[in-house]
Amino acid sequence: MNEKKVSMSTLGVVFHPKFPPETLVNYARRAESAGFEELWLWDDCFLPGAFTSAAIALASTNKLKVGIGLLLAPAYNPLFAAMEITTLARAFPGRFLPGFGHGLASWMVQIGAASKSSQKTLSETVAVFTFNGLDKKKVARPHTMR
């Protein structure tokens, strides 16, 4: 008999970048109390930042995993993104879930971060996260959204 393992889905909630940032602490705590396992954020041009929001949510909860579903690779210098990700991952081991995407071309033009190839920029940014020198046990691999 061939048995298949059934994996349970993870249940999470989203804190939209348009939500008032001053409500994030209560939102994250209520999500954790209600039994949600993950809280997801994303960077959106001209709205509160995902790294800061992730730090707020992580610091105000005990077990809740916090993911950034989309950091705009063209908008971040890979070194500084790595520094922020490493700091959060070390401060909250196993609870921070970063991810990258190439962003909307029109927004990247608007903020002066457009590249000739958004896919190449995304690939080069993610390549920085091969975790040279980082503790792979404490830092989850970034997710890539295309």
Average pLDDT over residues 122-137: 66
The residues, any chain, with a CB within 8 Å of residue 43's CB and separated by 6 or more, are 17, 49, 50, 68, 70, 71, 72, 75
Read off the pLDDT of residues 97-122 as tens digits, 9 standing for 90 and up: 999 988 888 888 998 988 888 888 88
Read off the pLDDT of residues 16-73 as tens digits, 9 standing for 90 and up: 999 999 999 999 999 999 999 999 999 888 899 999 999 999 999 999 999 998 899 9
- Report residue 104 as tokens: 């909307």
pLDDT at residue 138 in the model? 44
Angle at 94 between CA 89 and CA 96, to 5 degrees: 50
pLDDT at residue 62 in the model? 98
Strand pairing category for 12-14 and 65-72: unpaired
The 3-state secondary structure of 28-89, one letter per residue:
HHHHHHCCCCEEEECCCCCCCCHHHHHHHHHHCCCCCEEEEEEEEHHHCCHHHHHHHHHHHH
Instruction: Check if CATH label 1.10.3720.10 holds for domain 12-144.
Output: no
pLDDT at residue 126 in the model? 82
CA-closest candidate to residue 41, choices 74, 62, 76, 17 = 17
The whole-model pTM stands at: 0.81
Q: Are 53 and 19 in contact (CB under 8 A)?
A: no
CA-closest candidate to residue 41, choices 137, 143, 133, 131 = 143
Q: Are 11 and 37 in contact (CB under 8 A)?
A: yes
First to last CA, the chain: 39
pLDDT at residue 1 in the model? 53
